[in-house]
Every structure is written in structure tokens, then in C-alpha cells.
Amino acid sequence: MLRNWSIALLVLAIVLAAGCGGGEGDEVVNRWIAPRWTDQGCEDRYEEPLTTAEDMAGRAEAYARVDITPDLSVLDATQKQVLDELVAAGSIMDDLFRVQATPCYDALARAVADHRGEDRAALQRYFAINMGPWDRRMHHEPFIGDQERPEGANFYPTDMTRADRDKIASGEADLDGLFTMVRRDADGDLVAVPYSDFFGPGLAQAATHLRNAAELTENESLRAFLEARATAFETDDYYESDMLWMDLDSVVEVTIGPYEVYEDGLFGYKAAFEAFVTVTDPEQSAQLASYKDELPWLEANLPLPDEDKNLDRGAESPIRVVDLVYSGGDTRAGIQTIAFNLPNDERVREAKGSKKVLLRNVMNAKFEQILAPIAQVVIADDQVDLVNAESFFMHTLWHEMSHGLGPGKLVIDGRETEVRLELKDTYSTIEEVKADVMGMWDILKLDAAGRDYFAAGIDRKQPVTFLAGMFRSVRFGINEAHGQANAIQFNYLLDKGAIAHDPETGRFHVNFDRFLPAIELLLNEILVMQAEADYAAAEAMIATYAHMPDVLADALAKLDAIPVDIQPQFGHYPDM
């Protein structure tokens, strides 16, 4: 009797689930959107059964599953509760990003969940990695169906005319706002919808989690940030909380909100949601913080006319070395971030500099799984031993420091503006070239000036590790800002003879005497371009250098067996 009763319950549960057309998975992301702004006409967007790319298994296997489960034994019970609330808020950012990235996300996710083809498991895994149907490492080509990715992702209507684009670019009515979605009103006119309205339900829930964490934490700087950030979710004014984020001094930390503009490939105007929940390593951070004293010296020595130097930028540039516990949203899609530099708000950067956060456990995972094996294949025999984890870490560190150097706010013909706004869609790529090249320049310049921060032989170890690292980066595809930036550097350095290819072995090496001069030349070009807000020059550099030369393509073809990237498995929060 009891047994029949449970079977009846089970049947009832199945019927109920089926009755809602797929069950609770239905509104995974739509539940966070204000009902009047959810995407319309989604049912017809993808035909069923889904047509999928042929090599789904191969694509998915390019990402090595890596366990990201840092030691949390140093945390007390309260800190662990705080961590739970922060991860809950972070997982909402993950959902909001899916909305921003992919029109009709829920309808598509449902179709993927219902997919019954042989490639089912690989498809589902790859859809999760890319957070949508476009392959982030293959020029955003569709691996589901045949619809091209809208350049502006889901930030803008998908049916825009030339006139619509011009109107957005004109900045009318906040259409170019960092924290607005662009949609059509009842008359078909473009309107800017503030994130706090568009994502109202999601941001309210995220704010609740942040306030819960604020109540729990015993750390004053974290409490102040969380309260201000919760308010920012409701007001779209992130300034105060960005300032407070700079002052965080807590073992458990979070970076959460709308930040980077890479996902908006149309204009680079719109900030994408993301979250990093981390635990800090205070010892490492203190050691690295000593580097910040060098920033004024570096700025003063940049290969740039003095009048374009940014000498009064905020002096405080904290550095954190942390272990990642959870990430969500923009940063979790496709290629995994090993370091970031925030906030992007130039007002905060002028006042306080910017904070560099290095994700040590992610970086170590990538060096071991990817960079070391790549070097064994592509670097000349007599240089391969120079590739080392410390240099990989150092370049990443100085890359992040370099985002805070050079031109930021500008005055052009009396008009106040920013490099980001003037370089528009080229900005992300150009800024990444700047940070990569300047990061290398910083280290070699400090070493040449006799500073004793670095290991012996850094002047050789650093360039060769950098060279190996470029192969790792261009494997991401040269469509996205970081990959494109690496292709530019690779081709430029090849042009100048700073790196060279041996046709006999197919391997590459560094010409040490030409390396620093070439780096300095490229850095000068980029900095002048930014200082003069020279959009045409930025476009020209991308057109000239952001391509894949045959020697590079041939070398990459030999790396097939090596994972392209990692897919983190967050052991402490496996379901989020």
C-alpha cells in the first residue's frame, strides 16, 4: 500500500513537471528579468530537434575539467556563512550575464536540456561553457543552429538599422549608458532601460544576499562595501561601492556587479555582470604590494611625451593574491580569467588607482595544464628551459598593474572624455595590447634599472615565457579582445625580428637583443594612439596585425592534444 502510494506521488510529480513544460528549469534566467522586458518570440527561434556542430565532443574536451577547491580551513563558521551568501549573490550574476549574452536564453537552454542526440552530454557541457550557442573560441560561430551572434549580444534589439546604431552612438537618452539595456518601446523607438529596472527581480534578490552577508560579517570594510553594493543594484550608481571595494581588507572577499564591456562587440558600451568570490592570501599580497611604489617611476618613464603622461593618477594601487572559490557570469564564460584589474570607472581610478586581483589557484592550474606542455612543443630546444611559472605569474601581475598606467581621462579640444569612449569597439583590444606590452616593458625596465625584485636571468626567462604564453592566448581564437591583442603582438614582434621561427624545426625563439626595443616601439605606438584618441590608428593596427600568420597556425596545429583552457569545477559549490 505504502509502495503504491509512493509510486502515485512519483507519477504525480512527473505529470506536474511535464505540465509546466519542462519543470522548474523553465525560468532559470527569465525570473530575474522584469516581466515586460523578457525576450519575445523565443519559441520559434530554434527549430527542434536542434541542429548541432559535428565535433561537439572535441570542442568540449578542449576544456580540461579542473578542480578549484581551495583550502577553507582558515575560515571560521561565520566567514563560511558569509561565503555562502556571496556565492548565492554571485550565481545570480551568472544568470544575468546569460541574459545579456544570449537572446532567448531560457528557450534555448530548455531545448538543449531536451536534446536527445548522441552528442547530448558534450552539447550540454559546451553550452554551459559558452553560456550560449556561439563558440567563444571560434569567432563566435554557432554550434547550435545557424544564427549568427548579434555583435551587440543581447544588449540591443536584434533588428537594428544603421539609423538605430547612429542614434545609440550619439549617446542620446543614455542609449550608450554603461548600465542600460537598449530595447524598443511600444512605438518601436529605442529606449535605454536601466539595469535596475530591466533586471529588477534579480538585482533585488542579489541585494538581499549581500545584505545578509553584511549583517553576518565581522569585517567592517566588507560590511560597508556589501551594503553600498546592494544599494547600487537598486540605483545603478556604482561609484560609492566601487570606492569602498578599493578599501576591502577581508579574508573573504567578493567582486560583484556589472564590469567589463567586452561582451558588447558592437560598441563596447555595456557592462556585463560577473562575480568572483575569493579568499585572500595576506602574506603574498603584502609582498606584492611593494611593487606599487614603482608605479609613479614607471609612468614617468613611459615612452610617451611628458604632456600625455598621467602623473597625478591615484597613487594607491592595491594588489591582492587570492584563491578563487566561485566565479559566475562574464568571467566564467569560455576562457577563464587568471587576473583582473578593477574598477573601470575612471573617477575611482583617478582617486584611488585600481585594484589588481590575481587568482593564484587558477593561474597555477593553467601553467601546469597548458603553458608548460605548449612550451615543450613550440619553443626552441635551447630556450625551452627558460619557461617558468614564476615568469608567468610576474607577467600576469605586471599586465594588471599596467592597466592603471598611461592615458585614461582625456581632454580633446576642451571636451572631457575617456580613452574607452573615444576608441569605442577597438578599445578592449588596444587596451589589452597595452597591458601585455607594458607589463613586459615594466619588468625589463625595472630589471635594467638595477631593481632586485626578480630572479636571476629574468631578462631571458621573461621574454621566452611571454613567447610561449602568446601561443596559449591565441589558441582562444583571435576574435575576442585578449586573443586579438596577442595576435597583434605576435605579428608585430615577428615583423621586428624580436621573435623568430625556425622553418627546420618549426619552433620559435626570442632574439634577446631585439626584444626590448621592439616592445618599446609597440608600446609607444599604443600609448600615442590612446593619448590622441586616434580611432583610425587603432582600427589600422587591428587590420594590419590581428591575423593568424601561417607559421603560427602551423604551430597551433601541433597543440591539438593540449587543452585550450580549463573548466573550473567549484568543489565547495558544485551546484552553482
Minimum distance, C-beta of residue 79 to Zn ion, in the bound complex (Å): 30
Nearer to Zn ion, 337 or 383 (CB): 337
C-alpha cell at 90: 554571485
Nearest to 515, CA basis, from 450, 458, 452: 458
Nearer to Zn ion, 437 or 566 (CB): 437
* Number of amino acids touching Zn ion (CB under 5 A): 1
Minimum distance, C-beta of residue 476 to Zn ion, in the bound complex (Å): 13
Nearer to Zn ion, 209 or 395 (CB): 395
Count of residues in the chain: 576
C-beta atoms surrounding 312 within 10 Å? 9
Q: Is 370 in the site for Zn ion (CB under 5 A)?
A: no
Q: Is 397 in the site for Zn ion (CB under 5 A)?
A: no
Minimum distance, C-beta of residue 473 to Zn ion, in the bound complex (Å): 11
Q: Which one of residues 230, 244, 319, 435 is an interface residue with Zn ion (CB under 5 A)? A: 435
**Residue written as cell 599580497?**
285
Tell me which stretch binds Zn ion (CB under 5 A): 4-12, 64-72, 294-302, 428-436.
428-436
C-alpha cell at 188: 518601436
Nearer to Zn ion, 127 or 490 (CB): 490
| Alpha-carbon distance values, 171 to 237, 497, 536 (Å) | 18, 43, 20
Tell me which stretch binds Zn ion (CB under 5 A): 7-15, 100-108, 431-439, 454-462.
431-439
Minimum distance, C-beta of residue 543 to Zn ion, in the bound complex (Å): 22
DSSP letter assigned to residue 194: E
Nearer to Zn ion, 250 or 479 (CB): 479
C-alpha cell at 255: 567582486
DSSP letter assigned to residue 569: E
End-to-end CA distance of the chain: 38
- CA gap 305, 309 in Å, rounded: 7
Nearest to 342, CA basis, from 332, 328, 333, 352: 352
Tell me which stretch binds Zn ion (CB under 5 A): 319-327, 354-362, 429-437, 558-566.
429-437
C-alpha cell at 529: 594612439
Minimum distance, C-beta of residue 341 to Zn ion, in the bound complex (Å): 6
Angle in degrees, 0-180, between the axes of helices 458-474 and 481-495, rounded to the nearest 10:
130
Q: Is 244 in the site for Zn ion (CB under 5 A)?
A: no
Q: Are the beta carbons of 138 and 477 closer than 8 angstroms? A: yes
C-alpha cell at 367: 601553467
Nearest to 331, CA basis, from 230, 251, 263: 263
Window 518-547: residues binding Zn ion (CB under 5 A): none
Nearer to Zn ion, 106 or 263 (CB): 263
Amino acid at 468: A
- CA gap 249, 281 in Å, rounded: 11
Q: Is 56 in the site for Zn ion (CB under 5 A)?
A: no
Q: Is 342 in the site for Zn ion (CB under 5 A)?
A: no
Tell me which stretch binds Zn ion (CB under 5 A): 55-63, 185-193, 232-240, 435-443.
435-443
Minimum distance, C-beta of residue 439 to Zn ion, in the bound complex (Å): 9
Tell me which stretch binds Zn ion (CB under 5 A): 108-116, 246-254, 432-440, 565-573.
432-440
Minimum distance, C-beta of residue 418 to Zn ion, in the bound complex (Å): 17
Indicate the residue whose CB is closest to Zn ion.
435
Nearer to Zn ion, 386 or 435 (CB): 435
User: For residue 1, with 0-12 CB atoms within 10 Å meaning exposed, 13-18 middle and 19 or more buried, which class applies?
Assistant: exposed
Q: Are the beta carbons of 162 and 266 closer than 8 angstroms? A: no
Q: Is 357 in the site for Zn ion (CB under 5 A)?
A: no
Minimum distance, C-beta of residue 432 to Zn ion, in the bound complex (Å): 5
Tell me which stretch binds Zn ion (CB under 5 A): 108-116, 311-319, 430-438, 496-504.
430-438
Q: Is 275 left (phi over 0), alpha (psi -120 to 50) or beta?
A: beta
Minimum distance, C-beta of residue 331 to Zn ion, in the bound complex (Å): 12
Minimum distance, C-beta of residue 482 to Zn ion, in the bound complex (Å): 7
Nearer to Zn ion, 213 or 478 (CB): 478
Q: Which of helix, strand or coil describes residue 116?
A: coil
Q: Is 339 in the site for Zn ion (CB under 5 A)?
A: no
Minimum distance, C-beta of residue 484 to Zn ion, in the bound complex (Å): 12
**Cα dihedral sign for 82, 85, 91, 95?**
negative
**Cα dihedral sign for 246, 247, 253, 256?**
negative
Nearer to Zn ion, 197 or 299 (CB): 299
Binding site for Zn ion (CB under 5 A): 435
